[in-house]
Amino acid sequence: MTTLNDFIEEQLQDPLFKEKYDELEPEFTVMQAMIDARKEKGMTQKELAEITGISQADISRLERGTGNPSLKTLQRVAQAFQMALKIEFVPMQGPRAGRRQMMDTEYRERSLQYWERTHEEQDYDRDSIRVDDWLEPFDDIIMGTTRPILDLGCGGGNDTLYLINKGRQVIACDQSERAIQRIRKNFPEVMETKCFNMLDGLAFADASFEVVIADLSLHYFTEKDTSFIISELQRILVPGGYLLLRVNSIYDVNHGAGQGREVEPHLYESGAGTLKRFFDEADIRRVFKEYKIEYLKEETMTRYKLEKKLYRVCVRFEKGE
């Protein structure tokens, strides 16, 4: 079976592909240098933002390569690291440095294709949507919010329906345009819908939400991308705001755990070229180390044809912790 790395090596023989690939290298180099320097100094993104006066959201975008920093911005970052900014013109080399970003682009495109196809094949209406009870233990949180609730990665609308039935205002988001079209058709009362990829950042202002729900939508990313998304969730939550989520367990063998090529620990590339992460308790505590974990339990979900092992989690964002 051809892997993604093999595919890229083959495509690099095409001069046009190689030319476009090379164009990514300067951007990737700046991004990686900033990440390496921050880690060397032992700084969090939040700490770097406080020192530079650049928002944490913009710091996150710079490290993801989705920002467009000016020379002045890079100088402020360098000063925060107590380093000098050095720019050089050097002879062109091979495109190896930019390879990771191209791989990320391939994974991203394959993921979108997969979910567009999935939602196109599943022609469901409101009456056929199944709602399980995973949110019930958090009803006090859900009913106590005074703001709309964000359903992040809403998919077919299982949690959107639960929230609407509770009389809550919902903003439903997904990367799949077909999923969003179904949400609009099945839930005309939904407050708002947005179609975007979490890798581009969360399309909301700082401190927009008291409650965010991410049901089975945060386990499709590399470690670096997961950290970026978690930092974005911190940004859009108010201090004391809640994130309610479920993620795959490492024991979810019915749904891919331990199957395919292991890209990172507990992260696998499927035969279709998409990524899927599986968590143990230590993973969750590490990923959400800047949150207060209020509920964490491994459980079995029976909404699918085959049982699914997952973690149900409630974390609270406490600014300054």
- Tell me the mean pLDDT per 10 residues along the chain, length 321: 57 61 65 83 88 88 77 88 78 46 71 84 81 94 97 95 96 94 94 93 94 96 91 94 97 94 92 90 94 96 92 88 42
Strands 192-195 and 261-264, sheet pairing: unpaired
Domains plus CATH for the chain? 25-97 (1.10.260.40), 108-317 (3.40.50.150)
233 HSE (CA, 13 A, CB side): 32
Region label for 201, one of left (φ > 0), alpha (ψ between -120 and 50) or beta (otherwise): left
pLDDT at 278: 97
pLDDT at 321: 42
Rounded to 5 degrees, φ, ψ at 215 are: -95, 105
pLDDT at 94: 44
**Residue 145's CB: how many other CB atoms inside 10 A?**
16
pLDDT at 185: 93
Return the structure tokens found at 193.
């819908």
Alpha helices in 168-280 (DSSP H): 177-186, 223-236
